[in-house]
Chain A
Amino acid sequence: MLGKRGLTWIAAALLCTTLAGGAASAYFYTRLVQVEADYRRTLDDLERLTIVVDIMLDYGNGTVVWFNGTRVAAGETLLDTTSRVVDVLYTVTEFGAFVDAVNGVSGEENHYWIWFTYEGDWVMGPVGADAWRLHDGDVVAWRYTGF
């Protein structure tokens, strides 16, 4: 059985661990607050330099995949942005870049990868994907379309 002295030492030891734990908690809480503030400032900086777009991928077989909230550099082209989220094979022609395959999907007769932009309704892209610069909030789609 522990005597009064033994209990006093145990209490003192527990005081040490409490002090150390309290100090460590205060320190790491302060660090957390600092890191969160840094993160928010960095995000603000990032938001000034980047835009957010939504990209849809329609494989033409019923499979549709959305890449919502894709953050890209301001002024980036649709082709560059698409290449960031999926594997794209394309050929550069005198009319601009022509997408041959997306994620390996290609080769079907009379089927082509066509891009669309959403302006209340889906509208076929008027230029090559390498000439279309995206803006914040744009919604675009790639459809494997048969003719």
Chain B
Amino acid sequence: MERGLKGTQRTAVAALLAASAIATNYLLVGVVNVKLMDLIVFTAGFLLGAGAGAGVGALTWLVYGTLNPYGFSLPVLGATIVGETLYGLAGGVLRDRLELLGWGPDARLAVVGFLLTFLYDLETNVVSALTAGVPLAVALVGGVPFAVAHEASNAVFFCFGFPPLASSLEKVLKTYAR
């Protein structure tokens, strides 16, 4: 798909997806660690390629991490940007390995969502602990409930949300790729 779009079209789609991710983040600001951002970034990588997906992830966190109601921390922002690009990269890498089976839920995506989120949480919790001077074990164990909420919600979002989101966006983008 990404090869069929012009450079400006890809940029516009990436910007739209980043804007959607940012908007949903602010919408769900009161629900800690439950966000649609990761799904959108993964979808961006799947539709536009790993590089563009990573760019959407980085851009999303650059905005949301800077204008964040919970405060700003440069090391943590760096960690979240790096972590978020994982979703975009994974989406691009899995593009050729993960044939979509329609609009219905796909358990494989739940696995992908869970594992990516686990890596993201691990990385960001380690950086947050080092930044705050909290013992690593305490931070990792204390963060388990939040991590589980994040991983479980992403598993559900990826399983049920990704197939219809990716399929419908792909359909729309195909019309512009001609």
Residues of A at under 8 Å CB distance from B? Answer: 9, 12-13, 15-16, 19-20, 23-24, 26-27, 30
Contacts and interface: CB of A to CB of B under 8 A. Distances in A.
Given A9-B111, A27-B141, 15 more contacts: A13-B110, A16-B110, A16-B111, A16-B115, A16-B118, A16-B155, A19-B114, A19-B115, A20-B148, A23-B144, A23-B148, A24-B148, A26-B140, A26-B141, A26-B144
Interface residues of B, number: 16
A contact face: mostly helix, strand, loop, or mixed: helix
Nearest to A15: B115
Most buried by B among A9, A16, A24, A30: A16
Contacts of A12: 111, 115
A3 to B, nearest CB: 13
A15 B148 CA distance: 14
B contact face: mostly helix, strand, loop, or mixed: helix
Nearest to A11: B111
Contacts, number: 34
The list of the 9 closest CB pairs from A to B, nearest first, reads A27-B144, A16-B114, A12-B111, A30-B141, A23-B144, A13-B111, A26-B141, A9-B108, A27-B141
B110 to A, nearest CB: 8
Given A9-B108, A13-B107, A24 B115 contact: no
Interface of B: 107-108, 110-111, 114-115, 118, 140-142, 144-145, 147-148, 151, 155
